[in-house]
């Protein structure tokens, strides 16, 4: 049983009045003190039902015994889905059961992660639960940010009518769920752009081989299939000519996501890491949809990689990895480059998603890529803009840092890196088009 602030104050007042009454020989003070003691004792002995909370203490601070009254209360939870995308909604049904023969007035709070918003219903309920009855509490939460989350525990509180004493119990019912970064559809944008395929080298590697697209005509050699002979060309030139087709190649796309501690600079919902993970998810979906092979490297306090692969399963693996990316550590990009360089195919497009801050190795690392003829694209969500928009940065500071950033971007551009300073309100497709110069 826990004392609320009110009961503690009343108790102190009673003790003070009691002692003062004895000192002043004032029976009225003693009488008031006695009445307060009686009220407190009565509430403590028979306060078996709850009321609205008046205590300032939070349930997680309590580690003691919750008492008999809550021993017969149990909870179960059901969620509409264990995986959803950012801005998605999760419906939760909490089933509260009272196994006791006594009715209880309970205050129930189902713990929801702080970043979640309650869309409908409520996770905080005051209710009377009849003897051997159960009730269903339904609410919907909106999940604005990617990550691994957990619902629970369920905090149950029972309190006397005057809010003097309460008992609390945490029912350790947990449900985990995963929020994937939301994705932007890039297909439409690319189709509408002047050049249909931005990463032309990514799919067609310009080599003859088995495929569906026409590549060139050449003379017939022994062993060539008769089906490949171009009879019209034979009629024109008098020589046996065959159609050569362009090899349908599945290319490797490498996405490098910066999840260092500095990537989380800015508000929780608007920072470089949030933008980078969303961009990586969108790009992965786009390229996997084109049957390319996509690999992801997330670096922060360590380098985590998803091996290149194709298909829907790979998209799920990538999304899971991106959902779990936590801003931590300060691994330089050069370490990542040194580690992956021996394992990636020459000429593979590399897309780096980083705010380019607090890493002196960026220029050298990207130079290493360019020196080996990799097609490097950098999408750089600007932490400065996030900070400035949130009014955490004064204009002078912003301008100075912006100039430094412009200089760095200019230097990288000079290395032949396709780079885009991605401002917060810019769509990913626009930023990509800007990076590639369309």
Partner 1 sequence: MAEKTSGDTAHLYDGKTVRSSAPSRKALAGSSGIGTEIPKDAIPELQIPTFVESLLGGPLVPKMKFLPPDKMVQNLQLAVYGLLMALAFLTLIVSPGAGTIWYMIFGSIGIATAMQVVIISIATVCGFVGTFRRDGRFLLVSNLLFILAILRFASSKVALAFDPFGLADRPFLLSSLVVVYAVFLIMFIELGNGVLRYSMLDTSIRTNEVYVMNPGKIVGKYHRALVINPVVSVVLATLVLSANKILPFIVGLLNSETALRMEESVELTSVYGVALGTLFVFIVTGALFMLNLPGAVQKWREARSE
Question: Shortest distance, CB of residue 95 to partner 1, whole angstroms?
Answer: 14
Footprint on residues 104-123 left by partner 1 (CB under 8 A): 105, 118, 121-122
Q: Identify which of residues 49 and 247 has a Cβ nearer to partner 1 in the complex.
A: 49
Footprint on residues 60-89 left by partner 1 (CB under 8 A): 67-69, 71-72
Question: Shortest distance, CB of residue 274 to partner 1, whole angstroms?
Answer: 19
SS3 223: coil
Question: Shortest distance, CB of residue 111 to partner 1, whole angstroms?
Answer: 15
Q: Identify which of residues 246 and 385 has a Cβ nearer to partner 1 in the complex.
A: 385
Name every residue whose Cβ is closer than 8 Å to that of residue 192 and which is 6 or more positions away in sequence. Answer: none
Dihedrals phi, psi of 163, to nearest 5 degrees: 65, 35
Peptide bond into 153 cis (omega under 30): yes
Helices 272-289 and 312-323, axial angle in degrees (round to 10): 180
Our finding on whether 2 is near partner 1 (CB under 8 A) is no
Cα separation, 50 vs 412, whole angstroms = 65
Show the binding pattern over residues 387-416: x = contacts partner 1 (CB under 8 A), - = does not.
----xxxxxx-xxx-xx-------------
Cα separation, 371 vs 416, whole angstroms = 10
Q: Identify which of residues 140 and 320 has a Cβ nearer to partner 1 in the complex.
A: 140
Q: Which one of residues 3, 54, 234, 332 is an interface residue with partner 1 (CB under 8 A)? A: 54
Footprint on residues 120-149 left by partner 1 (CB under 8 A): 121-122, 124-128, 131, 135, 137
Q: Which one of residues 21, 147, 181, 295 is an interface residue with partner 1 (CB under 8 A)? A: 21
Q: Identify which of residues 138 and 219 has a Cβ nearer to partner 1 in the complex.
A: 138
Strand partners, 96: 75, 135
Our finding on whether 250 is near partner 1 (CB under 8 A) is no
CA 264 to chain centre: 12
Choices 52-60, 171-179, 245-253, 421-429; region in contact with partner 1 by CB under 8 A: 52-60
Question: Shortest distance, CB of residue 356 to partner 1, whole angstroms?
Answer: 19
Measuring CA to CA, which residue among 278, 258, 263, 259 is closest to residue 326? Answer: 259
Residue count, binding to partner 1 (CB under 8 A): 75
Burial class (CB in 10 A: 0-12, 13-18, 19+), 407: exposed
Dihedrals phi, psi of 58, to nearest 5 degrees: -100, 150
Our finding on whether 223 is near partner 1 (CB under 8 A) is no
Question: Shortest distance, CB of residue 1 to partner 1, whole angstroms?
Answer: 6
Footprint on residues 162-181 left by partner 1 (CB under 8 A): 162-163
Choices 42-50, 171-179, 236-244, 371-379; region in contact with partner 1 by CB under 8 A: 42-50
Choices 9-17, 224-232, 301-309, 326-334; region in contact with partner 1 by CB under 8 A: 9-17
Q: Which one of residues 60, 80, 87, 102 is an interface residue with partner 1 (CB under 8 A)? A: 102
The string of DSSP codes covering 53-100 is ------GGG--S---STTTTEEEEEEES-SEEETTEEEEEEEEEEE-S
Q: Which one of residues 42, 214, 316, 438 is an interface residue with partner 1 (CB under 8 A)? A: 42
Q: Identify which of residues 30 and 353 has a Cβ nearer to partner 1 in the complex.
A: 30
SS3 259: coil
Q: Identify which of residues 56 and 196 has a Cβ nearer to partner 1 in the complex.
A: 56
Element (H, E) at 418: strand 418-422
Burial class (CB in 10 A: 0-12, 13-18, 19+), 294: buried
Q: Identify which of residues 27 and 373 has a Cβ nearer to partner 1 in the complex.
A: 27
Choices 40-48, 218-226, 300-308, 414-422; region in contact with partner 1 by CB under 8 A: 40-48
Question: Shortest distance, CB of residue 267 to partner 1, whole angstroms?
Answer: 11
Start-to-end C-alpha separation, the chain: 69
The alpha helices in 358-424, defined as continuous H runs, are 362-371, 383-389, 395-414
């Amino acid at each position: 049983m826990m004392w609320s602030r009110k009961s503690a104050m009343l108790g102190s007042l009673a003790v003070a009045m009691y002692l003062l009454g004895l000192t002043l020989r004032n029976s009225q003070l003693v009488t008031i003190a006695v009445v307060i003691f009686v009220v407190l004792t009565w509430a403590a002995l028979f306060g078996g039902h709850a009321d609205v909370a008046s205590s300032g203490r939070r349930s997680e601070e309590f580690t003691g015994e919750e008492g008999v009254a809550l021993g017969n209360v149990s909870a179960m939870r059901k969620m509409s889905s264990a995986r959803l995308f950012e801005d998605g909604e999760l419906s939760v049904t909490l089933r509260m059961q009272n196994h006791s023969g006594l009715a209880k007035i309970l205050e129930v709070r189902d713990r929801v992660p702080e970043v979640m918003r309650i869309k409908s219903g409520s996770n905080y309920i005051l209710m009377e639960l009849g003897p051997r009855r159960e009730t269903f509490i339904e609410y919907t939460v909106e999940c604005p940010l990617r990550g691994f989350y957990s619902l629970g525990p369920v905090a149950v509180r029972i309190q006397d009518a005057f809010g003097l004493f309460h008992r609390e119990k945490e029912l350790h019912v947990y449900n985990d769920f995963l929020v994937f970064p939301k994705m932007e559809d890039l297909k439409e944008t690319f189709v509408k752009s002047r050049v249909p395929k931005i990463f032309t080298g990514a799919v067609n590697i310009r080599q003859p081989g088995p495929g569906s697209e026409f590549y060139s005509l050449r003379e017939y050699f022994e062993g060539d299939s008769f089906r490949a002979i171009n009879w019209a060309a034979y009629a024109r030139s008098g020589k046996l000519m065959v159609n050569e087709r362009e090899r349908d190649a599945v290319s490797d796309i490498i996405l490098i996501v910066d999840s260092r501690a500095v990537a989380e600079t800015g508000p929780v919902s608007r920072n470089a890491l949030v933008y980078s993970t969303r961009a990586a998810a969108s790009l992965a979906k786009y390229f996997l949809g084109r049957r390319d092979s996509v690999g992801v490297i997330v670096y922060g306090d360590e380098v985590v990689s998803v091996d290149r692969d194709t298909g829907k399963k790979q998209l799920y693996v990538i999304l899971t990895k991106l959902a779990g990316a936590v801003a931590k550590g300060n691994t330089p990009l050069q370490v990542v480059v040194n580690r992956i360089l021996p394992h990636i195919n020459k000429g593979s497009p590399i897309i780096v998603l980083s705010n380019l801050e607090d890493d002196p190795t960026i220029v050298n690392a990207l130079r290493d890529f360019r020196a080996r003829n990799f097609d490097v694209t950098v999408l750089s969500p600007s932490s400065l803009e996030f900070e400035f928009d949130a009014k955490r940065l004064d204009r002078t500071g912003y301008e100075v840092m912006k100039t430094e950033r412009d200089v760095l971007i200019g230097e990288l551009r000079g290395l032949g890196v396709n780079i885009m300073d991605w401002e917060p309100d810019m769509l990913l497709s626009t930023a990509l088009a800007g990076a590639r110069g369309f």
